[in-house]
Structure 1
Amino acid sequence: MKKEFNLVKDCSQKILAISDTMEILNGKWKMSIIACLCYKPMRYSELLKEVTGISGKMLSRELKDLEINELIERHVLNTSPVAVEYQITDYGKSLKQLTNTIADWGFIHRQRIISGMKKTTNSKS
Structure 2
Amino acid sequence: MEKIDALKEVKNCPIQYVLSINDTLNVISGKWKLPILGSILFGKKRFTDIQRNIPKITPRMLSKELKELELNGMLVRTVHDSTPVMVEYSLTDSGQSITEVLDKMVEWGIQHRKAVITG
TM-score bracket relative to the smaller structure: 0.7 to 0.9
Count of aligned positions: 111
Larger radius of gyration: 1
State the TM-score, normalizing by the size of structure 1.
0.82
Q: Which residue of 1 aligns with 2:100?
A: 97
Contact 2:77 2:89 in 1 (8 A): yes
Query: For the residues of structure 1 that align with 2:10 and 2:77, how far apart are their CA atoms?
Result: 42
State the TM-score, normalizing by the size of structure 2.
0.86
Q: Which residue of 2 aligns with 1:15?
A: 18
Query: For the residues of structure 1 that align with 2:35 and 2:55, how far apart are their CA atoms?
Result: 9
1:45 to 48, 67, 70: 48
Q: Deviations over 1:60-85 (max 9, x none)?
A: 00000000001000011223211210
Runs of 5+ consecutive residues of structure 1 not aligned to the other structure: 1-5, 117-125
Helix, strand or coil at the partner of 2:13: helix
Helix, strand or coil at the partner of 1:84: strand
Query: For the residues of structure 2 that align with 1:62 and 1:7, how far apart are their CA atoms?
Result: 29
Query: For the residues of structure 2 that align with 1:7 and 1:44, how far apart are their CA atoms?
Result: 37
Helix, strand or coil at the partner of 2:48: helix
Contact 2:10 2:16 in 1 (8 A): no
Which one-letter code corresponds to 2:58 in the other structure?
Answer: S
- Equivalent positions of 1:1-125 (< 5 A) are 10-116=13-119
If each structure's helix is expressed as a fraction of its own residues, which one has the higher value? Answer: 1
Which one-letter code corresponds to 1:25 in the other structure?
Answer: I
Which one-letter code corresponds to 2:108 in the other structure?
Answer: W
Higher mean alpha-carbon deviation, 77-86 vs 63-72, is at: 77-86
Which one-letter code corresponds to 2:50 in the other structure?
Answer: L
